[in-house]
Copies of this chain bind each other. A is one copy, B any other.
């Protein structure tokens, strides 16, 4: 019998749900998703009109921007790597340090973050949106026409759209569902090693981030767990204090959310600071700093191959038409070329 046939798939391994629940205070509807999609792709939510959510979370690819850390308006560089928005719904908190409890709360951040979309405040952002007649009518349809163009409704729509960003039916899911030809022998070895080495201690559940359906409590892990190791200096992995920056509690120093590993082959570079350029090196680092072990190169390759099996099926997305302000500029206070 082949490696694949001998392998008993235990309960550790779970397939990705094909849909996500919506919260009671923000039920998903088709119109809301469509509005959220428009907002997600609309660069006019940024001060300069050049940066949309999709700039840093490119849905044409891994839901990230491929950069070590993101670049927002005016070329400003932020401190952290952009995580994917694919399957971000399957998390109990958002951001590397979990500082937002849900997708709604999360989406308020980037719009007014200086190195991201750089709006001076939410009112200004909403003023811009409300100046576009097509948005006024879309908000009215979704949220009622009584002053419904608000930041709270905007982020509800964006979150409803994000709840559709799910990539099921990867080779791994098909394997777990019983198709033993879905993985190669190396991938199966990688899968077994991922469990036996202890990766699943943190990276468990359908999204490999510790979440299981129904779980709502946020949780964090120390990273790096083992210090004074060769990788820490090389990649400056101990510089960012993680959750401590949010809570200022000493015990939260170096605590980070366990990230989703779905589509991890598409989201190089790696870690909260994007300092590691290859997945193989990220796996070496993890084994070292989280498990205090060194993997053989063959083992690294098997795990990397296994991770390739976590690339899911991406839904077809039709490019939204974003509404216009007929015959009128929508950006104000921009440097006109005339004054250059």
Contacts and interface: CB of A to CB of B under 8 A. Distances in A.
Interface of A: 41-44, 48-50, 55, 58-62, 65-69, 71, 73-81, 235-236, 239, 264-266, 268-269, 273-275, 277-280, 304, 307-308, 314, 316-322, 324-331, 334-340
A81 B44 CA distance: 16
Please report whether the interface of chain A is mostly helix, strand, loop or mixed according to DSSP.
Answer: loop
Contacts of A68: 329, 331, 334-338
A326 B308 contact: yes
A268 B336 contact: no
Nearest to A272: B337
B60 A75 contact: no
A22 B275 CA distance: 45
Contacts of A330: 66, 268
A78 B79 CA distance: 27
Given A48-B75, A318-B316, A324 B67 contact: no
A268 B337 contact: no
Central interface residue in A67, A77, A264, A331, by most chain B CB within 10 Å: A67
Contact of A275 (B62, B274, B328, B337): B337
A77 B74 CA distance: 9
Contacts of A265: 324, 326-327
A319 B319 contact: yes
Contacts of A65: 43, 49-50
B321 A318 contact: no
A320 B60 contact: yes
A263 to B, nearest CB: 9
A327 B307 contact: yes
Contact of A337 (B43, B59, B62, B81): B81
A87 to B, nearest CB: 16
Given A60-B320, A273-B336, 6 more contacts: A43-B65, A49-B66, A49-B71, A66-B331, A74-B74, A266-B324
17 contacts: A42-B60, A50-B55, A58-B322, A66-B331, A68-B338, A75-B76, A79-B337, A266-B326, A268-B327, A268-B330, A269-B336, A273-B337, A275-B337, A278-B328, A278-B329, A279-B326, A318-B319
